[in-house]
Amino acid sequence: MSVSHSQRRRVIARKTALAAIAGPLVASALLPIAASAATYRPTPLNPKQKVSVGLLNSTSDSGLLLAADHGYFTDEGLDIELVPFKSLSDMFPLLGRGQLDVGAGGVAAGLFNAAARGIPLKIVADKGHMPGPRGKGDDYSTLMVRKDLVQTGKIRKYADLKGTKIALVGGPGSIGEFAVAKALANGNLTLKDVTTISMTYPDLVPAFANGAVDAAILIEPFQTFIQTQGTGVIWKTYTDLFGHANQIAVIVYGDSFAAKKEPARRFMIAYLRGVRDYNDAFGPKHASYNDVVNVLARDTHQKAQIFDEVRAPGIDPDGNLALQSLQEQVAYYTRAGEITAKVDLNAVTDTSFSNFAVSQLGHYRR
């Protein structure tokens, strides 16, 4: 089943109105696993259920964009409205008041502070992690260092970062700060040992060229732009820094939507079907690659060839969260004083929806 172009593009419909308004970890056993996703045949809800979804229209939104384009939400009887925001934190008030059902965005101290302040929300599934679908070394975000500093041997080991100028996108409490702090800690340094500069990702391209910064955490496509212009090198991947999967973005349910078990479960099924199409295309299968890229290029407003050049974010096809990474982030932000109250990660994550979806679709086969 497919949706019309007008249905797919209902992204802007309530943007103005929304902008103006602007569980314990479930360890329950899975239901019997379906034979395969190919045998899954949904019966749509009747009447249809409206679901509003906040997103950033970034590459890590691929699961949502593909699920909408391929008709998976419609298959479940869900009338999806995709609403663009600048950040996940902008969605919190609406999620808390039930004026937005689902949020999709990056992990940062603000997410945990929102939970600590009692904003009713649940982290329910992965939306972006590293490494990417091609495996080790395929990191969508990396620590880049100016090429001349590496070539001259001025920066060879973590301790050599002392006294450098390091750009932070998002400032204090951001995932970039968390990663930089980890790199410095690997050299027995702290943020006090470097000069941090607040910048945007586009600003970093000329900043590497003119020497305004020495290092920065970059995401795609900007790290590829800097590599291409020959002014920076990927010095460490996130996998190098942490040694395990790192959670960078998540799917969040408002509690009022999570309480609607049937629509919330069906949303997750449709979402994971889209995520699996993404993994089929960007992983070893390389299935329907051109079709998937054309959808993502259109919806993220990028040129299709960019997807051939850059690294893709990992999005777990079973929705699994990198819980160790989330725990480390909570611990870091707490030590740094960027989380203002105690956060019980078990109370703000709920894997029951992804578990249910996998019980219907079967585990993804790579």
Mean pLDDT value of segment 200-215: 96
| Residue 38 confidence class, pLDDT cut points 50, 70, 90 | low
Per-residue pLDDT tens over the stretch 139-166: 999 999 999 999 999 999 999 999 999 9
What value does the mean pLDDT take over residues 244-250? 93
Both tokens assigned to 331: 């611990």
d(CA 291, CA 22): 35
In this structure, how many other beta carbons lie within 10 angstroms of the beta carbon of residue 178? 25
Does 30 have pLDDT greater than 80? no
The type of residue at 198 is S
- CA Rg, the chain, in Å? 20
Architecture of domain 5-131+246-361: 3-Layer(aba) Sandwich (3.40)
The per-residue pLDDT for 9 is: 42
Is the CB of residue 99 less than 8 Å from the CB of residue 18? Answer: yes
Q: Which pLDDT does position 23 carry in this prediction?
A: 38
The whole-chain average pLDDT of the chain stands at: 89
**What pLDDT is attached to residue 19?**
37
Contacts (Cβ under 8 Å, ≥6 apart) of 203: none
pLDDT digits (tens, 9 = 90+) for 186-196: 999 999 999 99
**Alpha carbon separation from 184 to 175, 189, 285, 359 (Å, rounded):** 14, 5, 37, 42
What is the structure's pLDDT at 233? 97
pLDDT confidence band for 138 (50 / 70 / 90): confident
pLDDT score, position 33: 39
Q: Does pLDDT of 8 surpass 90?
A: no
Q: Can you give the residue ranges of every domain in the chain?
A: 5-131+246-361, 141-242
The residue assigned the tokens 């019309």 is 4
The answer to whether the beta carbons of residues 236 and 23 sit under 8 Å apart is: no
Single-letter amino acid, residue 165: K
What is the per-residue pLDDT for 274?
Answer: 98
* Res 185: pLDDT: 97
3-state SS string over 165-202?
A: EEEECCCCCCHHHHHHHHHHHCCCCCHHHCEEEECCHH
pLDDT band at 37 (very low <50, low <70, confident <90, very high): low
Please state which of the ranges 21-35, 189-203, 348-362 shows the lowest mean pLDDT.
Answer: 21-35
CATH homologous superfamily, domain 141-242: Periplasmic binding protein-like II (3.40.190.10)
Say what the pLDDT of residue 366 is: 84
Q: What angle do the packed helices 323-335 and 175-185 form, to 10 degrees?
A: 80
Please tell me which residue, 347 or 2, carries the higher pLDDT value: 347
pLDDT digits (tens, 9 = 90+) for 298-334: 999 999 999 999 999 999 999 999 999 999 999 999 9
pTM of the complete model: 0.87
Whether pLDDT at 4 is above 70: no
H/E segment holding residue 207: helix 201-210
Render the burial of 195-216: b for 16+ CB within 10 Å, e for the rest.
ebbebebebbbebbeeeebbbb
Q: What ranges make up the beta strands (E) of 170-313?
A: 195-198, 215-219, 232-237, 246-254
State the pLDDT at residue 28: 34
- pLDDT for 271 equals 98
CA–CA separation, 16 and 241 (whole Å): 40
The end-to-end CA distance of the chain, in Å, is 25
Question: Across residues 126-146, what is the average pLDDT?
Answer: 90
